[in-house]
Structure 1
């Protein structure tokens, strides 16, 4: 084989490999006029309610839409008096979307402005559930500063909850309640976690990043089941009161890079 033919073959192989790797990357910049329902599920239900401690209205499709190149997720607080209806009540209603494709190990990155209300939970998460002993989940959530010894009324958006689960009991999940930085400065920030489900040569772990700076690692209770990736707002009982009418989270883009 001549040198010229060899070089051409190498370039073709490199091009094919590059195309394969690019095809594996999931990227969405929300520049269309509507949510791409070939890629996304728009959620319409309620979860995680603890009635003795507080109720909420779930998530609904009306609170998720595209505007000015952003995915907009609307939060309706306790002061909301409009016509939008939730699940069981018409206040504390959020919105969420999830990927139709399931992912395992990978880098999950979102550029967003979270909702600037400590009474609404802004979240990015993976989720797969079979039963209480088999709940595989990774969370990047705001506000934090509400886990023991803090109380719901201590919730602070400059703090975040970084969690991973393999079940719902205390021994099956790990949570860090950390100061992260100013989340209400009006700027977009990058929220990312890298999920290493584990190979023979690599320790299972999760790494959380804020504006591309590593802020936390977890080495216990690491999920290993393929899961959807979700983004949204909801109203759990463990955060502060939702003393507002309407507010929003803005998501500029999301990028998921699967690991081999």
Structure 2
């Protein structure tokens, strides 16, 4: 019995690694494939790899715009090289760039990968702020209080169904799920997001947010990472893993196939058992759930954070940049920035990855003169 218990503990430790802080970044697993590399050496933003938002979300800000995403020069590892510069315009900005409804203040810049990614390793060499002050910049150049520099994956899909049958599954709209209504409508938001991290809530840059979003579930976690707030470049790495979880009680009559996946169609199946994720058919009356497993986060090769709750399985695009929501606090300056020296993504192809459900470019929602798109 003791031996069996010890074996169970060993297996559990392998399958469900603890969120221990300070561990070394592990070697890449066999079969990992590089699917994106970028160092901006071409001196331009490659439109085959990237697009840049003109978009607003959240409160207390005026969006993000392409004009605030540029290629510049900086010293990285003792050598001058090209870097991506994502600029934030604070509460005192009075220049020419405008955002939502023509407003000049609280406008940021975000770049997005054309590709969608799922399980894998995401490596970004990035600098928050600067070690030196500049005219119109923050009083503390290492901590540009009032803006949110961030790295995140994001995938989103809106599904709308017949409102007269809002409380029921609808076979003609296989992805519609009455257990996760959005905004009181006969509609769903499929949402896949990992934040790794978001800096600067309420002006606090050392206590950063590593969040997960899975449909209508959201887990918000804070971790202390002061080592990254020194105006220098650091290597941020996130490992995202997924798996298949058997669901032995599910039968063929309870699901419907769409887009290569199987979707629950039976209200008697507890929503908490699957949270809107699709299933894989393994045989007659035999299914497993596509499910996010864990996300581990490292800075300069040391583990600093982890997420094991509501980790998504659906693929998402890599987002990088800076924005200025109200919850960042006042931005008592004209300009600040984050800089990205390089990006590299490996994909692992875990069996729990959901590929192809999230797709396409996340659209802009206002035009260059600031007017919203209807």
Per the shorter chain, which TM-score range?
A: 0.7 to 0.9
CA distance in 1, matches of 2:151, 2:49: 16
Q: Quick check: 194-203 or 123-132, which moved more?
A: 194-203
CA distance in 2, matches of 1:73, 1:40: 14
1:180-216 deviation per Cα after TM superposition (whole angstroms, max 9, x unaligned): 1144422101112111022469981111112121122
Note the residue ranges of structure 2 that are not aligned, 5 or more in a row.
1-30, 74-81, 130-142, 159-181, 183-188, 247-290, 350-374
1:94-139 deviation per Cα after TM superposition (whole angstroms, max 9, x unaligned): 0011110101111111001023312110010011112454211000
Aligned length: 224
Q: Quick check: 131-140 or 69-78, which moved more?
A: 131-140
Could you tell me which of 207, 220, 237 is aligned with 1:175? 220
CA distance in 2, matches of 1:102, 1:203: 16
CA distance in 2, matches of 1:62, 1:33: 16
Could you tell me which of 35, 52, 55 is aligned with 1:45? 55
Could you tell me which of 207, 217, 238 is aligned with 1:193? 238
TM-score (norm 1): 0.80
CA distance in 1, matches of 2:292, 2:341: 32
TM-score (norm 2): 0.57
Is 2:86 the counterpart of 1:59?
Answer: no
For the Cα contact (< 8 Å) 1:94–1:233, is it kept in 2? yes
For the Cα contact (< 8 Å) 1:128–1:135, is it kept in 2? yes
CA distance in 2, matches of 1:65, 1:107: 25
Q: Which residue of 2 aligns with 1:75?
A: 88
1:197-242 deviation per Cα after TM superposition (whole angstroms, max 9, x unaligned): 2246998111111212112222221111111111010012212211
Residue correspondence of structure 1 range 1-260 to structure 2 within 5 A: 24-49=34-59, 55-68=60-73, 69-88=82-101, 89-115=103-129, 116-131=143-158, 132=182, 133-144=189-200, 146=201, 152=202, 155-168=203-216, 172-199=217-244, 204-260=293-349
1:18-73 deviation per Cα after TM superposition (whole angstroms, max 9, x unaligned): xxx79743110111121111100111111122xxxxx2110101000111210011
CA distance in 1, matches of 2:292, 2:64: 36
CA distance in 2, matches of 1:221, 1:184: 28
For the Cα contact (< 8 Å) 2:122–2:237, is it kept in 1? yes
| CA RMSD in angstroms, aligned pairs only | 2.0
Q: Which entry has the higher C-alpha Rg, 1 or 2?
A: 2
Counterpart secondary structure, 2:67: helix
Aligned CA distance change for structure 1 residues 200 and 24 (closer, same or farther; 3 Å): farther
CA distance in 2, matches of 1:240, 1:31: 35
Note the residue ranges of structure 1 that are not aligned, 5 or more in a row.
1-20, 50-54, 147-151
Post-superposition offset of 1:142: 3.8
Counterpart secondary structure, 1:252: strand
For the Cα contact (< 8 Å) 2:292–2:310, is it kept in 1? no
For the Cα contact (< 8 Å) 1:118–1:143, is it kept in 2? no
